[in-house]
Amino acid sequence: MTVLQRQIAAGCLIGLALAMWLLQGVEEMQPPVPQPSAGLVLKGLFIGPSAADDAAIVSALTSEIGDCIQHDGTLADPRLKTGVAFDDLRTAAREARCKGESIGARQPKVRDAIHAYLDEVVGTSGGPVTAQDRAKWVTAMKDISRAAADAAK
């Protein structure tokens, strides 16, 4: 191989490396492709004249419940130690906030979607919870809150 051939080969390799580097930079500058939402979607399930208000209430309530469950887990002696306790907290908070009115009765599609989501994500055991179980409950409450907030828009 002559000197000229080596220089041409080296130039081609450098050109190829430069092209790959530039293409990589272009790919990094591209906006991320939106991924399909995994998890709970409540948009379109809230219906009727109170739909937006109901969605806002569900969003705020589930966010607060998630915060309470998370905070309780930081205590030296957590009060909420079972799945039943988490569900009782959810029921008591809903009853207190809604003063006996049932958003679930007004929004049965939402109620059923949330029920199925909770069964799938946190399960149906009412027994003792681990730190992982608690984290699942917190995540589920925050996911419900986000889904309801999206539905209220």
What are the boundaries of each domain within the chain? 1-34, 51-152
List CB contacts of 44: < 8 A, sequence separation 6 or more: 151
Average pLDDT, the chain: 83
pLDDT tens for 53-80 read 999 999 999 999 999 999 999 999 999 9
pTM above 0.85, yes or no: no
Contact 140, 147 (CB under 8 A): no
Q: Give residue-wise pLDDT tens across range 1-41.
A: 676 556 555 554 565 555 555 556 544 545 443 333 457 99
- Do 89 and 108 meet the contact criterion of CB atoms below 8 Å apart? no
- Inform me whether the pLDDT recorded for 149 exceeds 90: yes
Q: Can you give the pLDDT at residue 100?
A: 82
Reduced to 3 states (helix: H, G, I; strand: E, B; else coil), residue 37 is coil
Identity of residue 21 = W
Structure tokens at 149: 């907030």
